[in-house]
Amino acid sequence: MHGRVKVKSTAQQEEEKRKEREKKLKAFVSARDAVLRKRSAGEHDEEALQLTQQLLSSNPDFATLWNYRREVLLQLETSREKDEVQKLYESELHFIEACLKVNPKSYGCWHHRSWVNTRLPQPDWTRELGLCDRCLSLDERNFHCWDYRRVVVKESGVSVEQELQFTDRLIGSNFSNYSSWHYRSTLLPQLHPQPAPDSIHSHRVCEEQLLKEYELAHNAFFTDPNDQSAWFYYRWLLGREEMISCVYVSRERERVSVAFSKPVHSEGLMLVLDGQPQQVEWRSTHPRLRHSPVWLCDLPPGSVSDISNEHNLTVHWTEKYTHRDCALYTGCAESWCRDSATDQELFRSELSVEKSSVLQAELQSCNQLLELEPQNKWCLLTIILLMRALDPLGHEKETLAHFQTLKVRKYYHYLNERYSGSRK
């Protein structure tokens, strides 16, 4: 009878699959050898493109092939008209997209795509943004895609508002995404910066927006107190700006040291001595350390060595439009300039009435959560930090109690030590 169903046995299926694989492997190896031969022979032609396309379609991580492809494309560019070049690179983008489907996290693919956009006479940033949207909807944490997105946004001038709305959508659909929160933290200061940007105690975001962000963070950690992303974002909100916490000048050593509240890059650091900008080299405590909380520079020889002279030093940090003055008085061998309140605590805000009331309200919210989730470590930790910021001595007992609950892990142990040191 026709159409009687007889199914192949597993052994038959296995055998067929093995034969398939062997066939594929043979084809791949011969193509690869052909390509490498061509490259050593210096051939940059259409055939090279075809062969590399074949190989990269199934293995987009083969970096050498991408390199070769770029060589070929550059060569072809020289013999083509502008609109042909446009077409050439546009089809290249299609091809890359196909490869991305195979491995959306391929370094080779993303890098090549960036490169193609630099060669395209008319890049289509809208399409690129759309591609990012799609990739991120498939995998919200694809850091390749996030990096690429940042490039696209920068090149195409997409508005910060639009990107902020994008994070709204992402966070709305899944708030357990650290990457979205992080991206949001880079956008907010651009969109809603604190007014009076050159004040010393500046915050990153204006108060009105800050309160909205607090609410967003509350919603997240009340819905799921075990999700770290929201807590980290919250701490960023509560935290203060990176700032210059202290400047030190030594006549004898002819050196200036600048200490920051957090590790920073030395880019944007400028020294002005008695009104004259100085050409100096900044170095950190270790030659390899590019991010450091402390930066040092040597003053031009003899500039401050005469102890009878008074000098005025200003360290400017153009990254955050902030600066610190330091006066070196007559008869003084050295000078410190620091904010006495900042050097012990992890973070604090201005102690104006307004600000501390905000912190107080935040402390209340966290305590409310603590009632419902007494064992939650994130909540406990945040409460400790808030209490320290508001009134370290007044909250001492509670702080200690919470530390106990945290069952002292190494990190918290260190924190406890640090705080007990400052209590003395």
Partner 1 sequence: MARISQIEGNFQFRERSQWWSVTMLSVCVHFPGLTESVIAAACSRVGQSVLHLDRRNYYAGNWASFTFNGLLSWIEQYKQEVPITELEQVWRSLIDEGEDAVPLSALDSSISNLEVFCYARLHEVSEPKEDQHTSDISEPSQSQEEKESQLSSSPADPTVEVQKKITYQKLVKEGRRFNIDLVSKLMYSRGALVDLLIKSNVSRYAEFKNIGRILTYRNGKVEQVPCSRADVFASKQLTVVEKRMLMKFLTFCLDFEQHPEEYQDYTEKPFREFLKNKKLTENLQHFILHSIAMVTQHTLTEEGLKATQHFLRCLGRYGNTPFLFPLYGLGEIPQCFCRMCAVFGGIYCLRHSVECLVVDKVSNKVKAVIDTRGQRISCSHFVVEDSYIRDEQRQSTAYRQISRAVLITDRSVLPSESDQQISMVTIPPLESSAPAVRMVELCSSSMTCMPGTYLVHLTCSSSGKAQEDLAPVISQLFHVSTIPGEEPSEVLWVMYFNMRDTSALDSSSYSLPSNVHVCTGPDDSLCSDYSIKLAESVFHHILPDEEFCPPAPNPEDIIYDGDGPQAKGPGFDESTNTECLESSQE
For the bound state, the minimum distance from the C-beta of residue 374 to partner 1, rounded and expressed in Å, comes to 12
Kindly indicate which of the ranges 2-10, 181-189, 205-213, 349-357 contains the residues binding partner 1, using the contact rule CB under 8 A: 2-10
- Name the residue nearer to partner 1 (CB basis): 63 or 372: 372
SS3 for 274? coil
**Residues numbered 173-192 forming contacts with partner 1, rule: CB under 8 A:** 173-175
Q: Judged by CB, which is closer to partner 1: 4, or 94?
A: 4
**Closest to 59 measured CA to CA, from 83, 35, 89, 87:** 35
Cα(255)–Cα(249) distance, rounded to whole angstroms? 6
Least distance (Å) between residue 178 CB and partner 1: 15
Q: Residue 8 CB, nearest distance to partner 1 (Å)?
A: 5
Helix (H) / strand (E) element for 401: namely helix 396-405
Q: Which residues contact 405 (CB under 8 A, 6 or more apart)?
A: 374, 375, 380
Instruction: Report, in Å, the least distance between residue 369 CB and partner 1.
Output: 7
Q: Give the footprint of partner 1 on residues 373-392 (CB under 8 A).
A: 373
Site string for partner 1, 213-252 (x = CB under 8 A): -----xxx-xxxx---------------------------
Q: Give the nearer residue to partner 1 in terms of CB position, either 45 or 168.
A: 168
196 contacts partner 1 (rule: CB under 8 A):
no
Task: Count Cα neighbours of 369 within 13 Å in the Cβ-side half-sphere.
Answer: 25
Q: How many CA atoms lie within 13 A of 132 on its CB side?
A: 23
CA distance 21 to 345: 62
Round to whole Å and give the CA distance between 119 and 111. Answer: 13
In 3D, which of 320, 331, 326, 317 has the Cα closest to residue 274?
A: 326
- Output the CA–CA distances (angstroms, integers) from residue 60 to 51, 131, 251, in the order listed: 13, 18, 59
- Binding segment toward partner 1, per CB under 8 A, in 81-89, 166-174, 196-204, 251-259: 166-174
When asked if residue 285 is in the footprint of partner 1 (CB under 8 A), the reply is: no
Contact flag: residue 165 with partner 1 (CB under 8 A): no
Nearer to partner 1, 364 or 420 (CB): 364
Give the binding range for partner 1 (CB under 8 A) out of 159-167, 170-178, 262-270, 355-363. 170-178
In the chain, the amino acid numbered 300 is P
Dig out the tokens for 85 from the structure.
């070049």
Q: Which of residues 11-30 bind partner 1 (CB under 8 A)?
A: 13
Nearer residue to partner 1 within complex by CB, 223 or 285: 223
Among 187, 264, 315, 369, binds partner 1 (CB under 8 A): 369
Q: Apex CA 236: angle with CA 235 and CA 242, to 5°?
A: 125
Residue ranges that bind partner 1, judged by CB under 8 A: 1-8, 13, 172-175, 218-220, 222-225, 365, 368-369, 372-373
